């Protein structure tokens, strides 16, 4: 099973936790593959100075069973990028699309959430505007909800890291059936902040179409 993580200039580094939890999942499911995809292959400048190297650009991106759209301050530029929007719209129907935080705003701009329920980051600190409210204002065809996760079949949107709340950070949950295996770790944070990352993986030999994936920010602590 191949997971693609879409990154771009201005992604919030915490959203790369999606890579971290999938890396942990590989301990119990070595067949998992993870690739990073950006508008162009090579160096990507994340928010606040972190630089990473994307494996692929959108022109040579491999077909993925799951495509994760990360969030961060760069989402506005990506939502206006014709190339990014075209890349997302061109994903095969069998590919499961998962967004983290404001990654949902990019999907909204591509029209991929129209007619669906969806969520995105909602809690902000001034002067930032709530992306959830922006979703409601800009995209009335979306039923925007204040939720940790909204699952609509092949589209799943996560609510993001909510400032000053007890919402979870980084749950990746696969449920193709079988017996769940849980890995826990990465303690981090002060009282009232997220304190753990965890992965639940239910291993089976069933195909990717049977797998439900949530990469969300939800409560711990």
Q: What is the pLDDT of residue 18?
A: 82
> H or E stretch including 33?
strand 33-38
Under a CB-based contact definition with an 8 Å cutoff, are residues 68 and 99 in contact?
A: yes
pLDDT, tens digit only, all 221 positions of the chain: 889 999 999 999 988 888 887 887 777 677 889 999 999 999 999 999 999 999 999 999 999 988 999 999 999 999 999 999 999 999 999 898 989 889 999 999 999 999 999 999 887 778 888 999 999 999 999 999 988 788 887 888 888 654 333 333 333 444 444 333 333 333 333 333 332 333 333 334 444 433 444 443 332 22
For domain 2-164, is the CATH number 2.60.120.10?
A: no
Q: What is the pLDDT of residue 212?
A: 45
Q: What is the pLDDT of residue 201?
A: 36
Q: Is 20 helix (H, G, I), strand (E, B) or coil?
A: helix
What sections of the chain are H helices per DSSP? Answer: 17-25, 75-79, 82-89, 103-109, 131-138
List, in order, residues 6 or more apart from 201 with CB less than 8 Å away.
25, 28, 29, 174, 180, 181, 182, 183
The reported pTM is 0.78
Question: Measured between alpha carbons, how far is residue 120 from residues 19, 27, 41, 128, 218 in Å?
Answer: 19, 30, 27, 14, 12
For the chain, what are the domain ranges? 2-164
């Amino acid at each position: 099973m191949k997971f693609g993580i879409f990154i771009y200039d201005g992604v919030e580094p915490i959203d790369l936790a999606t890579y971290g939890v999938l890396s942990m999942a590989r301990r119990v499911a070595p067949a998992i593959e993870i690739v990073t995809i950006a508008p162009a292959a090579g160096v990507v400048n994340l928010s606040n100075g972190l630089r990473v190297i994307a494996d692929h650009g959108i022109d040579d991106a491999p077909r993925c069973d799951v495509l994760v759209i990360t969030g961060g301050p760069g989402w506005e530029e990506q939502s206006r990028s014709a190339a990014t929007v075209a890349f997302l719209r061109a994903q095969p129907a069998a590919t499961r699309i998962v967004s983290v935080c404001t990654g949902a705003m990019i999907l909204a701009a591509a029209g991929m959430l129209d007619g669906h329920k969806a969520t995105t980051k909602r809690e902000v600190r001034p002067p930032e505007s709530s992306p959830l409210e922006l979703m409601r204002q800009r995209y009335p065809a979306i039923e925007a909800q204040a939720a940790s996760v909204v699952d609509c079949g092949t589209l799943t949107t996560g609510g993001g890291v909510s400032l000053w709340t007890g919402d979870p950070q980084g749950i990746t949950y696969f449920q193709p059936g079988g017996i769940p295996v849980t890995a826990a770790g990465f303690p981090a944070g002060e009282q009232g902040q997220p304190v753990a990352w965890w992965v639940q993986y239910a291993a089976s030999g069933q195909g990717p179409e049977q797998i439900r994936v949530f990469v969300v920010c939800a409560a711990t602590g």
